[in-house]
Every structure is written in structure tokens, then in C-alpha cells.
């Protein structure tokens, strides 16, 4: 199974309420995905050379007691990297104007068990094992603000229940993907991508789709062209929801085996696996509700 949710607010005033509106959406998908949850939130981009790196310490020995202050100190003193951290237990968002590849290499060198969740000017990413309600409370999702987000509740079928195999997956910068379904050719996709220098962090099938699409974007494809190539390259069952700094995109496989429903008003576009995650949204009774067609691309811009 698995549940996906997405929310893009059109009215700037609603950006302050993005997390509050989303939490019931995520919790509404608990039965579809009770073992892990996560989300990526996109907010106003940092200035040109600023980058945010979401880092997870749950796999380290210290876990939620990880000493982030010591990490920042070591990055500053040992690596001459100017980094600040915003910490929530086992999660921190590190902000820096240094080359993000240098920062990430230093983080991994200092503690190889620190897991890097995302990198970009707009994206912050959280994911962990636990029920959606537990994960939402752990990171105070209700307080999140921004223009749009992509969320996921997981019922693992293709790989183990671990924080790094939860969704969303990211690749490159400011791109993330969540998946409901199962791919039948993830290993073929991996074998095709690896000679291009693309490295994988898990054995999860969704990671193959995420890295494939990000590779196409990096090679210069527009999002729509990348998704078109995805239809040809990715085999299996999927509803994919993707986030970029200014867009949400949704595609379903040609058999539409995995559900999706969209509700749109003048104020927002909300996407979920099922309507029960949308029922609480403001003015939902007057929303345009529809089921996205198989093998069609749906792209919403902020």
C-alpha cells in the first residue's frame, strides 16, 4: 500500500498554515502506511549560494541526543565551513553558503552514520519510522510553513522498514519524490544509471525512480520531458508525486493500479491517495474533485 499526500497553496496567506492543513492529510493515510512517514516542504529559496541540508541523526549511536552543536563546531573549526543548525531532536537543518558538496563530505567524514536527507535552496525534508501521527508530532509538522509540500505514509513491501528507506526520496538539489506502488525493474534502472556516476544509498525501488528523473532533469530535460521518459523507462505500479521549488507533479502508471484524487479550489491544490485525507480541508465541499487519469502528467505551479 502506502499513502501519498501533497498540498500547494495558491493564496500567500495560507503559507503560514501549510503544516497545520497537512497534518490531518498525513494522519488520514495511516491505514495505508502505518510504518513510516515523511514529508518535504518547499519554502522561499535562500539567496544564490545559500543551501540547506536536512540531516538525520537517528542512525547514529546518540540518536535524538546527538550533539549537533559539537558537529557545527567541528565543521567550523576543522573544515572552515560556516554552518548554522536548526535542530529538532534527531533532525537538523544545516544552512551554509559553502559548497554543499564540501559540507556533506565533511558531515559524512565526521560521522558516517549521519544520514543526509536533502539538499537545496528551498527544500527541507523529514522522514522517520513510526506512525504518521508519531512522526508528525516528533518534528512538529503542524508548525511548518511554505508554499507546497509532498508527504508519504509507508507500508513497506519492497525493502526494509528503516528511516532511510522511508519516503520522500531526494536526488540532486531541490527535488523529491514519493511513491505508492512497486517497480518491477528498479535494478535495471540502477544498472543503467550507475555508469553515469549516479550512486545509490539504499536498495529501495523508489530511489531508482527518483534518481532516474533527477538525472533527466540534470541532463536538461524540462520536468514534462523527464516524466515522459519516466513512462518509458520505469516499469511497474506507481503513483508518483514529485516536488520542485515551484511545482508539484503527479503521474500514474497506465493501469492506474494505485489511487490518487485531487481537490482544487481558488486557494489550494490538494492531492491524496484517497478522499478521506482531503475531507477536512477548508471549503472542500466547493472544491473541484477529480481522479487523475493514467499516464497523464499533472503539474501545478506555485
Partner 1 sequence: MENMTFDLAATPLRELNQFLHQKHDVAKVTVLNPDGAHNIAVGLDSPVEVEVHGHAGYYAAGMNKTAAVTIFGSAGTGVGENMMSGKVVVKGFASNGAGASAHGGLLVIEGNAGLRCGISLKGGDIVVGGSVGSFSAFMAQAGRMVICGDAGDALGDSLYEAVLYVRGHIKSLGADAQIETMSEADFATVADLLAQAGLAHDPKEFKRIASRRELYHWNADANQEY
Residues with a catalytic annotation lie at 2
Distance CA 104, CA 95 (A): 11
Distance CA 271, CA 141 (A): 18
Q: Which of 127, 44, 132, 106 is nearest to 94 (CA)?
A: 106
Nearer to partner 1, 156 or 279 (CB): 279
* Minimum CB distance to partner 1, residue 277 (Å): 8
Q: CB under 8 Å to 198, separation ≥6 — which residues? A: 171, 211, 215
Task: Classify 164 as helix, strand or coil.
Answer: helix
**Where do the H-state alpha helices sit in the chain?**
18-28, 68-79, 100-110, 132-138, 186-193, 205-218, 223-233
* Minimum CB distance to partner 1, residue 298 (Å): 15
Using CB under 8 A, list all residues that contact partner 1: 254-256, 259, 261, 274-280, 285, 289-291, 293-294
Question: With contact defined as beta carbons under 8 Å apart, do 230 and 209 qualify?
Answer: yes
Nearer to partner 1, 108 or 280 (CB): 280
* Minimum CB distance to partner 1, residue 254 (Å): 8
Within 10 angstroms of residue 125's Cβ, the number of other Cβ atoms is: 28
Nearer to partner 1, 130 or 294 (CB): 294
The backbone region for 278, taken as left when phi is positive above 0, alpha when psi lies in -120 to 50, beta otherwise, is: alpha
Nearer to partner 1, 4 or 208 (CB): 4
* Minimum CB distance to partner 1, residue 107 (Å): 42
Amino acid at each position: 500500500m502506502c499513502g501519498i499526500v501533497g498540498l500547494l497553496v495558491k493564496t500567500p496567506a495560507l503559507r503560514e498554515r501549510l503544516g497545520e492543513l497537512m497534518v490531518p492529510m498525513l494522519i488520514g493515510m495511516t491505514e495505508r502506511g502505518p510504518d513510516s512517514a515523511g514529508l518535504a516542504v518547499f519554502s522561499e529559496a535562500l539567496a544564490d549560494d545559500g543551501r540547506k541540508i536536512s540531516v538525520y541523526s537517528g542512525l547514529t549511536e546518540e540518536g535524538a541526543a546527538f550533539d549537533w552543536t559539537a558537529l557545527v563546531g567541528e565543521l567550523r573549526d576543522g573544515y572552515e565551513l560556516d554552518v548554522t543548525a536548526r535542530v529538532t531532536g534527531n533532525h537538523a537543518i544545516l544552512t551554509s553558503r559553502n559548497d554543499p558538496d564540501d559540507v556533506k563530505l565533511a558531515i559524512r567524514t565526521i560521522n558516517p552514520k549521519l544520514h543526509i536527507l536533502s539538499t537545496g535552496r528551498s527544500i527541507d525534508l523529514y522522514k522517520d519510522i513510526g506512525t504518521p501521527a508519531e512522526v508528525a508530532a516528533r518534528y512538529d509538522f503542524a508548525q511548518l510553513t511554505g508554499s507546497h509540500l509532498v508527504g508519504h505514509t509507508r507500508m513497506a513491501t519492497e525493502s526494509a522498514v528503516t528511516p532511510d528507506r522511508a519516503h520522500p526520496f531526494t536526488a540532486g538539489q531541490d527535488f523529491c519524490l514519493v511513491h505508492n506502488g512497486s517497480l518491477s525493474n528498479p535494478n535495471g534502472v540502477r544498472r543503467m544509471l550507475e555508469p553515469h556516476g549516479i550512486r545509490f544509498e539504499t536498495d529501495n525501488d523508489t530511489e531508482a525512480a527518483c534518481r532516474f528523473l533527477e538525472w533527466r532533469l540534470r541532463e536538461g530535460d524540462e520536468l514534462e520531458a523527464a516524466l515522459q521518459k519516466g513512462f518509458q523507462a520505469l516499469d511497474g505500479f506507481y503513483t508518483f508525486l514529485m516536488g520542485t521549488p515551484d511545482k508539484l507533479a503527479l503521474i500514474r502508471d497506465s493501469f492506474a493500479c494505485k489511487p490518487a484524487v485531487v481537490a482544487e479550489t481558488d486557494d489550494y491544490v490538494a492531492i491524496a491517495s484517497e478522499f478521506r485525507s482531503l475531507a477536512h480541508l477548508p471549503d472542500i465541499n466547493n472544491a473541484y474533485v477529480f481522479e487523475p487519469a493514467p499516464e497523464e502528467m499533472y503539474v501545478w505551479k506555485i
